[in-house]
């Protein structure tokens, strides 16, 4: 079965972004770096692609130029198992120009959208008890960074 490898388009920050992401997530590494040659279309020597691995998921960052930028139509989800993990990733990814958003969403300093979630949230939102789901959703819609204890309180009623 083919492996799907997300490609992230940057203007000139591919190498910097890949270094940031691999320093943020455990068990991550830069796999390969390629550079533009004389044939272009960008300046010879500029990093063309950076292949990197984030905890087992392969990505490619490409310095494609300023024509395209990131938006919320695509996001990367981090399924955390504790409030401490949520806090850590939220802090790292909003640092140095990142932007917090609603319902566990944020943008990092490169404009990439992330959802910093908790593994139990999916169970609470697909519980089958519509009143419970509504309480959890109401609480979630009031949050920026997720507060697991508050979501638990909402689920309990």
C-alpha 131/C-alpha 45 separation (Å) is 59
* The domains spanning 1-68 and 70-157 adopt the same CATH topology: yes
- CA neighbor of 53 nearest in space, from 61, 43, 41: 61
Distance (Å) of CA 108 to CA 58, 76, 122, 123, 142: 19, 11, 23, 27, 21
Query: What's domain 70-157's superfamily in CATH?
Result: 2,3-Dihydroxybiphenyl 1,2-Dioxygenase, domain 1 (3.10.180.10)
Q: pLDDT tens digits, residue range 59-89?
A: 999 999 999 999 999 999 999 999 999 999 9
pLDDT band (50, 70, 90) for residue 126: confident
Q: Domain ranges for the chain, please list them.
A: 1-68, 70-157
pLDDT for residue 1: 63
Q: pLDDT tens digits, residue range 33-52?
A: 999 999 989 999 999 999 99
CATH of span 1-68: 3.10.180.10
Enter the tokens of residue 132.
């419970």
Buried b (16+ CB within 10 A) or exposed e, 78-108: bebeeeebbbebbebbbeeebeebeebbbbb
- Are the beta carbons of 136 and 153 closer than 8 angstroms? no
pLDDT for residue 73: 94
Q: pLDDT tens digits, residue range 86-103?
A: 999 999 999 999 999 999
Give the mean pLDDT of 13-36: 98
Nearest 10 degrees: Cα torsion 131, 134, 136, 142: -150
pLDDT for residue 78: 97
Instruction: Please state the φ and ψ torsions of residue 67, each to the nearest 5 degrees.
Output: -65, -30
Percent above pLDDT 90 for the chain? 90
């Amino acid at each position: 079965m083919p492996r799907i490898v997300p490609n992230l388009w940057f203007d000139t920050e591919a190498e910097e972004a890949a270094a940031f992401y691999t320093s943020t997530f455990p068990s991550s590494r830069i796999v390969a770096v390629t550079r533009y040659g004389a044939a272009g279309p960008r300046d010879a020597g500029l990093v063309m692609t950076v292949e990197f691995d984030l905890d087992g998921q392969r990505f490619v960052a490409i310095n494609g130029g300023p024509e395209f930028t990131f938006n919320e139509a695509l996001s990367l989800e981090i399924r955390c198992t504790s409030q401490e993990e949520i806090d850590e990733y939220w802090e790292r990814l909003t640092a140095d120009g990142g932007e917090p958003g609603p319902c566990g969403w944020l943008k990092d300093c490169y404009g990439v959208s992330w959802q910093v979630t908790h593994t139990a949230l999916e169970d609470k939102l697909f519980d089958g008890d519509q009143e419970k789901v509504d309480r959890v959703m109401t609480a979630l819609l009031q949050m920026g960074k997720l507060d697991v204890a508050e979501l638990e309180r909402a689920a309990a009623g």
